[in-house]
Structure 1
Amino acid sequence: MALDGKTAVVTGAARGIGYAYCRRLAADGAHVVAVDIEDPADGVRQLTGTGDKLGLVCDISEPAQVDTVVGTVLDRYGRCDILVNNAGVFPFTDLDHVTIELWRTVQAVNVEAILLFAQAFAPGMRAAGWGRIVNTGSGITLTQNRDLAYLTSKGTVHALTRALANELGESGVTVNAIAPGLVATEGFLGRARTNGPSAEEVIARTTAVQTIKRHSVPADLGNALAFLVSDDADFITGQILHVDGGVTRTGA
């Protein structure tokens, strides 16, 4: 699964699942560009592997900032071979309280940024006859969760993944999504909620219905990513890979 000479761009890369993606891609030899609204420099300095490492600060809900990141990547590496759209925001929302401003923010970060990065980097992938786009979806789309804006955005991520796969498949570019279950990242544990169960209680309930009785860790997602971006997965596209310890076997 060596990725020597490949350039990988990962959004939402400063911590959690995104940082796990960076660690695995770097360890497998890729040049890694870590993109986050928080400065990813500290984490980038700790990455191992033979490839180049670069950290960039970007609010991906702002098209002009996305353009700046794209320009930096193309100037430095010539193209992006592996695009990992992982960044996301997930405020709790329901029908009675969600505002149109918050709704649009969630869609801009979770969905529209995928389109912007794909439009920018797909031409280089097509020209090379090889490329990998992996989006972070969510197992939440198969549950009865009522997190309105976030659930809607992740359902759209899954649909966009399939649409991009349809369009790019003949060019040697695969597009898939990894749908995590509940991962005890800093982001999830820090979510503000005024009522209902705590994050820790939600994690305990989720683990109870898994086939594999342990908490999910970010490295679980990194391992799945390593397969999807490898040549071993060159006949797999348009798929939503649920990495959740078996939760989706029951739709829980």
Structure 2
Amino acid sequence: MALDGKTAVVTGGSRGIGYAYCRRLAADGANVVVIDIDDPSDAVKTLDGGDHLGLVCDIGEPSQVDAAAAAVLDRYGRCDILVNNAGIFPIADLDHVTLELWRKVQAVNVEAILLFARAFAPGMRAAGWGRVVNTGSGITLTQNRDLVYLTSKGTVHALTRALANELGEGGITVNAIAPGLVPTEGFLGRARANGPTADEVFARVTALQTVKRPSVPADLANALAFLVSDDAAFMTAQILHVDGGVTRTGA
């Protein structure tokens, strides 16, 4: 699974699942570009080997996405592996959702994927090799009522398949990893602010799993390592649920 000479771009890469992705990609030999809304310099310093780069970018702003993509191409010439990990997950039901919030979530969770893919696909096509991995969610198969977030992740799944259809002839695979609940800083902060404690939420979810332990970021990083490798060259347009078996219940 060596990625020597490959350049990987990871959005939301300075903490949580994204940081686990960056560490694994760097350990496997890739040059890693860590993109985050907060300064990712400290995260970049911890990565093994390689020629790594940190970029501050609000991916909900198209002009900033364009600037970040241009910086990657200027330094490395192309992006071989694009990992669209960053996302936001506000809670709003039908009675309280605003059009402003709806559009913000779509911009961050969906539109940024399109913009980065548009920027990097030409280089992947020219090389005859590329990997795009998006972050979906098992929430789309549950009865969860997170209206805005659920809709955005359903769109991510559809966009993953649409991009796979378009880019496959260029030697590019496009897949999505759909995590279950992972104890990241973002989720833990959200859980404290919205009713049940994090421990209660994880206990409830773990009870639904066949693998009876909480997920950890390394579980997702291991799946990513496979999807970006040559071993997964014949796997595309797939939504890979890495959730300990929760989604088998459909509940």
Q: TM-score, normalised by structure 1?
A: 0.97
Please give the alpha-carbon distance, in whole angstroms, between the structure 2 residues aligned to 1:66 and 1:155: 22
Q: Name the stretch that deviates more: 88-97 or 187-196.
A: 187-196
Identical counterparts, % of pairs = 83
Please give the alpha-carbon distance, in whole angstroms, between the structure 1 residues aligned to 2:81 and 2:219: 19
- 1:195 Cα deviation (Å)? 5.1
1:104 pairs with 2:103:
yes
CA contact (8 A) 1:189 1:200 kept: no
- 1:200 Cα deviation (Å)? 2.8
Please give the alpha-carbon distance, in whole angstroms, between the structure 2 residues aligned to 1:202 and 1:31: 36
- 1:193 Cα deviation (Å)? 6.9
CA contact (8 A) 2:131 2:172 kept: yes
The 5 Å alignment of 1:235-250 reads 235-250=234-249
Please give the alpha-carbon distance, in whole angstroms, between the structure 1 residues aligned to 2:192 and 2:98: 16
**Deviations 1:133-179, CA, capped at 9 Å, x for gaps:** 00000000000000000000000000000000000011100000000
Q: Provide the aligned C-alpha RMSD in A.
A: 1.1
Q: For residue 156 of structure 2, what is the amino acid of its counterpart?
A: V
Q: For residue 35 of structure 2, what is the amino acid of its counterpart?
A: V
Residue aligning to 1:21: 21
Q: For residue 26 of structure 1, what is the amino acid of its counterpart?
A: A
Please give the alpha-carbon distance, in whole angstroms, between the structure 2 residues aligned to 1:151 and 1:185: 19
- 1:202 Cα deviation (Å)? 1.4
CA contact (8 A) 1:8 1:80 kept: yes
CA contact (8 A) 1:91 1:192 kept: no
Please give the alpha-carbon distance, in whole angstroms, between the structure 2 residues aligned to 1:63 and 1:100: 18
1:66 pairs with 2:65:
yes
CA contact (8 A) 2:191 2:198 kept: no
Residue aligning to 1:142: 141
Residue aligning to 1:93: 92
List alignment gaps of at least 5 residues for structure 1. Answer: none
* Secondary structure in structure 2 of the residue aligned to 1:190: helix
Please give the alpha-carbon distance, in whole angstroms, between the structure 2 residues aligned to 1:192 and 1:39: 25
Please give the alpha-carbon distance, in whole angstroms, between the structure 1 residues aligned to 2:134 and 2:26: 18
In structure 2, the CA distance between the partners of 1:194 and 1:71, relative to structure 1 (3 Å rule), is closer
**Deviations 1:105-143, CA, capped at 9 Å, x for gaps:** 110000000000000000100011000000000000000
Q: For residue 123 of structure 1, what is the amino acid of its counterpart?
A: P
- How many pairs are equivalent? 251
Please give the alpha-carbon distance, in whole angstroms, between the structure 2 residues aligned to 1:170 and 1:195: 45
CA contact (8 A) 1:85 1:134 kept: yes
Please give the alpha-carbon distance, in whole angstroms, between the structure 2 residues aligned to 1:194 and 1:27: 35
* Secondary structure in structure 2 of the residue aligned to 1:191: helix
Please give the alpha-carbon distance, in whole angstroms, between the structure 2 residues aligned to 1:214 and 1:127: 43
1:33 pairs with 2:27:
no
Runs (4+) of structure 1 exceeding 2 A deviation are 192-200
The 5 Å alignment of 1:148-187 reads 148-187=147-186
Please give the alpha-carbon distance, in whole angstroms, between the structure 1 residues aligned to 2:236 and 2:111: 20
Q: For residue 31 of structure 2, what is the amino acid of its counterpart?
A: H
Residue aligning to 1:2: 2
Q: For residue 136 of structure 2, what is the amino acid of its counterpart?
A: G
- 1:44 Cα deviation (Å)? 0.9
Please give the alpha-carbon distance, in whole angstroms, between the structure 1 residues aligned to 2:85 and 2:180: 14
Please give the alpha-carbon distance, in whole angstroms, between the structure 2 residues aligned to 1:95 and 1:201: 26
Q: TM-score, normalised by structure 2?
A: 0.98
* Secondary structure in structure 1 of the residue aligned to 2:247: helix
Residue aligning to 1:42: 42
* Secondary structure in structure 2 of the residue aligned to 1:179: strand
